[in-house]
Amino acid sequence: MNPFELKTYPDTCLRIKTLDVEDFTDETRRMVNAMAELMYKSQGCGLAATQVGLDLSIVIIDIGEGLRAFINPRVLKRSQEKDTMEEGCLSLPGIGVNVTRSAEIEISAKDQNGNIVDGKFGGMEAKAIQHEIDHLRGKLIIDYMNPFARFISAFKFKRQMRKKQSGDTIL
């Protein structure tokens, strides 16, 4: 049984800023594995620890090239070139937001065993990593919207969640 549950907006844990992982233990590996299980079950390509209620600096991604864990990730460089793409989020189901991000990034991080996984990333992988690192800072894709659009989207999302919880049909 998975110890984690996916947290959805407006859960306050989605706005926390995370703490670095100090020790890389069996528990660290269990957390990464449980997060991965939940991400795959939810049909996502990335998940941050805040999305399961943890205040730890852990993100995982799988854009079709295998699971990658990034613990204590730091962006060292961002390309000047930007790409805009509609992004979704497991914690904001049904919401899509056009987000402009660096086309390439260079990061420093560790994996679940404490091994260094520094590297340069581009394309979808760079976007996924940046999206998940945003979560570690308490930032959501709706924060990229203008205030009016964010208000309308939040209103619609909350209404959708109420209908879902009450068992009403969602149109």
Distance CA 43, CA 45 (A): 7
Distances (CA, A) of 87 to 31, 54, 90, 112: 25, 23, 10, 26
8 A C-beta contact, residue 81 and residue 102: yes
Q: In the chain, where does DSSP find H-type helix? A: 26-41, 123-136, 147-166
Return all residues near 123 (Cβ < 8 A) that are at least 6 apart. 103
Residues 22, 86, 125, 132: which is the catalytic one?
A: 132
Is there a catalytic annotation at residue 22?
A: no
Give the CA angle between residues 51, 55, 61 to the nearest 5°.
45
Catalytic residues: 132
